[in-house]
Structure 1
């Protein structure tokens, strides 16, 4: 019989990658070595708490677990004090003010290409009957605010609320850096508060308020529109309460 702690937990698994947890070690299986290279590089450069890279043997990357707990999850109840959210905002600001990394990340996509991708995705959502046309059209208009020139920053690129850990009011670790690189800092802020709009003010207390809220709203709509079909095709539920489709409905 296996001893306690020997169990393997499947954290996430789909056709692109899988993450397993064994005790205090996470094993990330990814055949895209460029993505793994980006993660290892970002972890080494980021001026915020990150997991330790333990070893790497393609296609597997082993990293340490980080202490603490998240402030919630998409579709779940947000937790943590306003001070904890402010601490997360301060850590994100520290990342954004760091020297630029060499790579362009997920948050640094060309706005012309992104607009074309968005239009294609909106058409597919309506054509396939996945979302009503008025919901898609309204959010496409809101998303336009995100498609503007921006000054590049060191961005995480996938800064979901589940990727930032805290103990009390202190950030103890930020995980999953495979999409990191030069990009639009407001993309990170929008990703972190997706589905938790009510905590944006708390986050900005620590981050700073010199941002355009219309751009944040634009990224909420844009990110949600782009990912609904992918989530549906890969076994996730964007229609669950508080998730991407509810984010789109909130803009109505």
Structure 2
């Protein structure tokens, strides 16, 4: 019998792996519903839904391997990274889903959330004030008007699988919906700036790099405290705090 592997577990949800089956446990049934709907709409490879019995969603493993992880080395050829960029562009060109996703927060709401989080990072002594202040300045470029597209919303590098130079699956669609295309691109390349040219070659359009860098600051500032409180380490080499330091 296959062993049960805890892929991720925190107070909001947990994901377990048993052989080639992933079991996602989420008390928020609406979030699971949105995830299943997003996978059915996305014009890119997604995991097969095996069954649903609230609060559990069972999906099949996708073939291939990820291009790396935040804080780890990037793997794969330039062509594989370009293929990932092309898949992301295909998603962004698809018809809009009916609801907003994590990447669809308004600039006003995001600015307020960011300011509050920056204050907490400093007052709780989690990060130096100059590091927070500099990255809040960089983050301002992300707070601009944007045209909504179909976004994944949590397009971490660990959520995109390839086999050779072909994208075989994109997983974890719980934050999908209408949002800012550059948020998706920035999330995918977080901590792997050296692959920027490869990804954009596949994506195939001019990109405002200042906005990409701004989203790196936004995502990292908003993640640090949550990660610490849920048992993760944003101070690990190559992770969120190093991303923030790179903007100094």
State the TM bucket, normalised to the shorter chain.
Answer: over 0.9
Corresponding residue of 2:153? 157
Are 1:60 and 2:56 an aligned pair? yes
Does 1:22 pair with 2:18?
yes
Pairs within 5 Å for 1:38-187:
38-187=34-183
Corresponding residue number in structure 2 for 1:192? 188
TM-score (norm 1): 0.98
SS of residue paired to 1:154 = strand
2:201 corresponds in structure 1 to: 205
* Secondary structure at the counterpart of residue 151 of structure 1: coil
Distance 2:220 2:72 in 1: 17
- Corresponding residue for residue 246 of structure 1: 242
> Cα offset for 1:34?
1.2
Q: CA RMSD in A?
A: 0.5
Q: Distance in 1 between matches of 2:245 and 2:204?
A: 28
What are the superposed Cα offsets for residues 222-241 of structure 1, whole Å, 9 maximum, x if unpaired?
00000100000000000000
Deviations 1:197-220 (A, max 9, x none): 110111001002411100000000
Provide the rounded CA distance (Å) in 1 between the counterparts of 2:74 and 2:237: 13
Could you tell me how far apart the structure 1 residues matched to 2:30 and 2:103 are? 16
Match for residue 223 of structure 2? Answer: 227
Question: Which ranges of structure 2 fall in alignment gaps of 5 or more residues?
Answer: none
What does residue 214 of structure 1 align with?
210
1:9 equivalenced with 2:29 (yes/no): no
In structure 1, the residue corresponding to 2:162 is in which secondary structure? strand
Return the alpha-carbon distance in structure 1 between the equivalents of residues 215 and 106 of structure 2. 14
TM-score normalised by the chain length of structure 2: 0.99
C-alpha distance after superposition, 1:93-135 (max 9, x if no partner)? 0000000000100000111011000000000001111100000
Alpha-carbon distance in structure 1 between the residues aligned to 2:205 and 2:54: 42
Structure 1 unaligned regions, length at least 5:
none
Q: How far, CA to CA, are the matches of 2:57 and 2:214 in structure 1? A: 34
Aligned residues: 248
Instruction: Compute the displacement of 1:183 (Å).
Output: 0.2
C-alpha separation in 1, matches of 2:139 and 2:171 = 27
